């Protein structure tokens, strides 16, 4: 029986998305079949997992299959599975709306897509694969029943993708889902069995369930045997014969020497919905106290939500080749969230849950081993192919840096993978490793010098670098926001401490002699100038002293060794963190013309303006904002006139 048909409208964003997909997406139309077969595989995986605890869900039908049928006369393709199925609420949630966040961003990227590779890549990023059906179909019908429900609780969903859909309750004797696509005129090629078979072999050969199609009969012909007409009519029609057209074996269980590069790449595409080839691959079998298999991939290009720390992870968990869960974030640290792939354990229980994964020693061991495998893979790439590693770093380096904060156990491994822009390299390209820096250090240099800033231009033009440039001492230029946390965690490398050029004592005496004595005592004449400035700025600075850091600029601000840098203070304030930072020391260059003028000035109001302008300029050179820009302009104008 069927209840009254209910007509509903798609959500506004969903409707807009459908129109974009139908009219401007997918020059490579065949991707729709990959998406639907993949969804069917997920449904079978979920049933097999739930049946571990509730065998009644199988209802005596444990042969899990996906079937694809073409009907030339009706111009239809039918994709069916006997998986977990859906109830009415699940149909509404999974098909009637797009529940995943980022729909607006996806729509923008769809509109900008220019080629088939971009088209195909976008779908998997946003998890809207079902909607690719409307690229080839004028009408899509979904009939489904969730495993365990009564036969009278099936659901039929129908839409032409124009903005509305109908939904009704139907009698459906079998669990699982059947999707019927009424093809549009431009997609008639897909009613050919050979075309469908080639697409399935291309994209879904490694689905771990059989994908079956009807075997086309090839009747024998015998010219001498011509049966009577009545005899021919009495013969029953042959039973349809379904045959699997994919391998239906778990790729990761096979020996590496038996798997070709194309097979690995196609499996990655099926696993990740990324149409680009991966940058690197790790296929490893770990044996010992714990036994598990890793098949992990490093993507070539970053996903759109790479910098969202709460984004879905890319690791699937299997136990004895039984799919357990997507996005097993306990198996890979957050800073490696770009890694795609799977982990198949022989030791975890089949009924393991996300709650049990947390704090599980076996899971912690697998996570630790998988992390080392990925980091060692990146190390090997860096050693063997600098250009390839640079491509990785440009795309994922900012995220990898998070590991210096989160993963103390692998700090040394991560430190060797870091890349930096420096005063010895051109532009803002982060190309220098810490090993490169050590190789260029002078014999007497005992520290690795760095400076942090809001951006590369600000960091590279800081007055703190003047003495280093004068004496040809390389400085790391750190301009990513995460860098402040990196240097607070990475305090030394290969026995050399990291030293900010804007904090504390620089330790340059052994390298450059007198120019490096930041703690030299001021003369009486110098002290009279610094005291004069300190009196004007007594509420803004801790003290004023003559600098040995500067050659061209009039002044700079210096923080204490253990104090928060000015850049870090600005980051914290921008994040809404209220705190009271320590006052900086103002170091002044008495050889600069501004200081020479101050030294000779007799008018107190002019001296006060000069001292304040010198301080404000030091603030501006650090990338800070003035509390009262208008007052600064007035002071400068008074001095100019």
Helix (H, G, I), strand (E, B) or coil at 376: helix
Please report the pLDDT score of residue 355 as a whole number: 74
> What is the longest distance spanned by two Cα atoms in the chain?
129
Give the structural domain span for 437: 418-513
Residue 4, φ and ψ in degrees, nearest 5: -65, 140
Residues 58 and 11 reside in one and the same domain: yes
Give the three-state DSSP class for 324: strand
Residue 294: strand pairing partners: 284, 343
CATH number at 571 reads 1.20.120.790
Last residue of a domain, one of 471, 492, 513: 513
Let me know whether 482 and 542 are in one domain: no
In tens, the pLDDT along 431-486 reads 999 999 999 998 888 899 999 988 899 899 999 999 999 899 999 999 998 998 89
Residues with Cβ < 8 Å from 288, sequence gap 6 or more? none
Q: Count of alpha carbons within 13 Å of 338, Cβ hemisphere only?
A: 27
Confidence of residue 514 (pLDDT cuts 50, 70, 90): low
Are residues 125 and 17 both part of a single domain? Answer: yes
Same domain, 17 and 123: yes
pLDDT of 47 reads 92
Task: Give the integer Cα–Cα distance in Å for 583 and 600.
Answer: 28
Phi-psi region of 385 (alpha: psi -120 to 50; beta: other; left: phi over 0): beta
pLDDT digits (tens, 9 = 90+) for 389-405: 999 999 999 999 999 99
Give the CA distances from residue 491 to residues 192, 354, 474, 500, in Å, rounded to whole numbers and listed in that order. Answer: 64, 35, 18, 10
DSSP of 205-255: TT-SS-EEEEPPP-----TT----HHHHHHSPPPPP-EEE-S--S-GGGS-
* 403 occurs within a structural domain: no
DSSP 89-110: HHHHHHTSS--SS-HHHHHHHH
Q: Are 482 and 414 in contact (CB under 8 A)?
A: no
Q: For residue 55, give the CATH number of its domain.
A: 3.30.565.10
Least confident of 160-164, 293-297, 419-423, 543-547: 160-164
CB under 8 Å to 614, separation ≥6 — which residues?
A: 533, 554, 555, 586, 588, 594, 595, 598
Q: What percent of the chain has pLDDT over 70?
A: 85
Nearest-angstrom CA–CA distance, 635 and 612 = 8
Name which residue leads in pLDDT, 396 or 114: 396
Residue 605 lies in a domain: yes
Do residue 126 and residue 10 come from a single domain? yes
User: Distance of CA 78 to CAs 16, 36, 524, 533, Å?
Assistant: 26, 10, 93, 83
Query: E-assigned strands of 303-363?
Result: 314-319, 322-325, 340-345
Per-residue confidence band for 99, with pLDDT thresholds at 50, 70 and 90: very low
Q: 363, 396, 429: which is the final residue of a domain?
A: 396
Radius of gyration of the chain (CA): 34
Q: Is the pLDDT of residue 227 over 90?
A: no
Residue 314: its H or E element: strand 314-319
Instruction: From 596, 593, 588, select the one nearest 618 (Cα to Cα).
Output: 588
Q: What is the mean pLDDT of the chain?
A: 84
- ∠461-467-471 over CA atoms, to 5°? 115
The rounded distance, in Å, linking the Cα atoms of 603 and 585 is 25
> Is 309 inside any structural domain?
yes
Q: What is the DSSP letter of 472?
A: T
Query: Residues 507, 626: one domain?
Result: no
Choose among 316, 280, 315: nearest CA to 298.
280
Return d(Cα 582, Cα 557) in angstroms, integer.
Answer: 12
Distance of alpha carbon 554 from alpha carbon 316, whole angstroms: 58
User: Are 262 and 329 within one domain?
Assistant: yes
Q: Could you tell me which of 331, 205, 333 has the C-alpha nearest to residue 271?
A: 205
Q: Are residues 167 and 55 in the same domain?
A: yes
- Over residues 56-73, the mean pLDDT reads 93
**pLDDT interval class at 374 (50, 70, 90):** very high
DSSP 463: G
- Say whether pLDDT at 94 is over 90: no
Q: Say if 404 falls within a structural domain.
A: no
Q: pLDDT at residue 409 above 60?
A: yes
What is the sign of the dihedral through the CA atoms of 475, 479, 480 and 486? Answer: positive
Domain boundary among 513, 532, 550: 513
Q: What is the CATH number of the domain that holds 445?
A: 3.40.50.11260
CA-to-CA distance for 433 and 422, rounded, in angstroms?
A: 10
Res. 487: pLDDT tops 60: yes
Ramachandran quadrant class, 161 (left: phi over 0; alpha: psi -120 to 50; beta: rest): left
Q: Kind and range of the H or E element at 78?
A: strand 76-81
Closest by alpha carbon to 5, among 81, 93, 88?
88
Question: Residue 220: which pLDDT band, with cuts at 50, 70 and 90?
Answer: low
Give, as one character, the DSSP assignment of residue 559.
Answer: B
Check whether 34 has a pLDDT greater than 70: yes
Place of tokens 């998070």: 402
Mean pLDDT along residues 261-283: 89
How many CA atoms, within 13 angstroms, populate the side-chain half-sphere of residue 279? 25
* 320 and 359 in a common domain: yes
Q: How many domains does the chain have?
A: 4
Give the pair of three-digit tokens for residue 489.
Answer: 């965690």
- 141 shares its domain with 290: no
Give the least confident one: 110-119, 147-156, 254-263, 343-352. Answer: 110-119
Q: Using CA atoms, how far apart are residues 1 and 171, in angstroms rounded to an integer?
A: 6
**Do 483 and 338 share a structural domain?**
no
Confidence of residue 14 (pLDDT cuts 50, 70, 90): low
Residue 620, in any domain of the structure: yes
* CA distance linking residue 253 with residue 20, whole number of Å: 40
The residues that bridge with 499 in the sheet, in sequence order, are 449
Looking at residue 216, the DSSP 8-state letter turns out to be: P
Strands 66-71 and 6-9: unpaired
Split at pLDDT 50, 70, 90, the class of 202 is confident
- Whether 70 is covered by a domain: the verdict is yes
In a domain, 412, yes or no: no
Whether the per-residue pLDDT at 562 is higher than 50: the answer is: yes
pLDDT at 354 (0 to 100): 74
d(CA 475, CA 462): 11
- Shared domain for 76 and 183, answered yes or no, is yes
Q: Is the pTM of this model over 0.75?
A: no
pLDDT tens readout for residues 526-547: 888 889 899 999 999 999 998 8
The answer to whether residue 228 is domain-embedded is no
Strands 496-500 and 447-452: parallel
- For the domain that residue 308 is a member of, what is the CATH number? 3.30.230.80
Phi, psi of 274 (to 5 degrees): -100, 125
Mean pLDDT of 141-167: 91
């Amino acid at each position: 029986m069927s209840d009254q048909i209910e007509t509903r409208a798609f959500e506004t964003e969903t409707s807009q998305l459908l129109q974009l997909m139908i009219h401007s997406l997918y020059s490579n139309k065949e991707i729709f079949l990959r998406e639907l077969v993949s969804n069917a595989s997920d449904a079978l995986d979920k049933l097999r997992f739930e049946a571990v605890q509730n065998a009644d869900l199988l209802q005596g039908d444990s042969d899990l299959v996906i079937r694809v049928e073409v009907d030339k006369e009706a111009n239809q393709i039918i994709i069916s599975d006997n998986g977990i199925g859906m109830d009415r609420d699940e149909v509404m949630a999974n098909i009637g709306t797009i529940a995943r966040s980022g729909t607006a961003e996806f729509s923008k990227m769809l509109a900008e897509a220019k080629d088939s590779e971009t088209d195909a890549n976008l779908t998997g990023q946003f998890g809207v694969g079902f909607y690719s059906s409307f690229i080839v179909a004028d009408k899509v019908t979904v009939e489904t029943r969730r495993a365990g429900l009564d036969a009278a609780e099936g659901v039929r969903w129908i839409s032409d993708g124009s903005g509305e859909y109908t939904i009704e309750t139907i009698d459906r004797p079998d669990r699982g889902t059947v999707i019927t696509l009424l093809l549009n005129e431009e997609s008639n090629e897909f009613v050919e069995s050979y075309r469908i078979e080639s697409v399935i072999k291309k994209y879904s050969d490694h689905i771990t369930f059989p994908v079956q199609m009807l075997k086309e009969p090839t009747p024998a012909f015998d010219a001498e045997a011509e049966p009577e007409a009545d005899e021919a009519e009495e013969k029953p029609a042959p039973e349809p014969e379904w045959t699997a057209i994919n391998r239906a074996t778990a790729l990761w269980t096979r020996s590496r020497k038996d798997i070709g590069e194309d097979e690995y790449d196609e499996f990655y595409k099926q696993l990740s919905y990324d149409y680009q080839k991966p940058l690197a691959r790790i296929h490893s079998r770990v044996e010992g106290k714990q036994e598990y298999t890793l098949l992990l991939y490093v993507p070539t290009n970053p996903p759109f939500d790479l910098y969202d720390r709460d984004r879905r992870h890319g690791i699937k968990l299997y136990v004895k080749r039984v799919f357990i869960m997507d996005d097993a974030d306990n198996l890979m640290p957050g800073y490696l969230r770009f890694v795609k792939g799977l982990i198949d354990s022989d030791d975890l229980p089949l009924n393991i849950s996300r709650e049990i994964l947390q704090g599980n020693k076996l899971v912690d061991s697998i996570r630790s081993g998988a992390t080392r495998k990925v980091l060692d893979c990146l190390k090997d790439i860096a050693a063997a192919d600098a250009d390839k590693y640079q491509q990785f770093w440009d795309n994922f380096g900012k995220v990898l840096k998070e590991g210096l904060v989160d993963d103390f156990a692998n700090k040394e491994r991560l430190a060797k993978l870091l890349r930096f822009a420096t005063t010895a390299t051109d532009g803002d390209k982060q190309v220098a490793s810490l090993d490169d820096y050590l190789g260029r250090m002078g014999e007497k240099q005992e520290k690795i010098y760095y400076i942090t800033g809001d951006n590369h231009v600000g960091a590279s033009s800081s007055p703190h670098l003047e003495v280093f440039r004068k004496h040809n001492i390389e400085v790391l230029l750190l301009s990513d926001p995460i860098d402040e946390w990196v240097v607070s965690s990475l305090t030394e490398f290969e026995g050399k401490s990291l030293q900010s050029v804007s904090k504390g004592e620089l330790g340059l005496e052994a390298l450059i002699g007198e120019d490096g004595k930041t703690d030299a005592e001021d003369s009486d004449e110098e002290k009279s100038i610094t005291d004069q400035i300190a009196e004007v700025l007594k509420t803004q600075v801790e003290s004023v002293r003559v600098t040995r850091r500067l050659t061209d600029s009039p002044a700079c601000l210096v923080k204490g060794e253990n104090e928060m840098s000015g850049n870090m203070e600005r980051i914290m304030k921008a994040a809404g963190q209220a705190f009271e930072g320590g006052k900086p020391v103002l170091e002044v260059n008495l050889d600069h013309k501004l200081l020479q003028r101050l030294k000779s000035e007799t008018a107190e109001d002019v001296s006060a303006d000069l001292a304040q302008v010198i301080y404000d300029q030091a603030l501006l050179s650090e990338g800070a904002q003035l509390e009262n820009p208008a007052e600064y302009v007035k002071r400068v104008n008074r001095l100019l006139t």
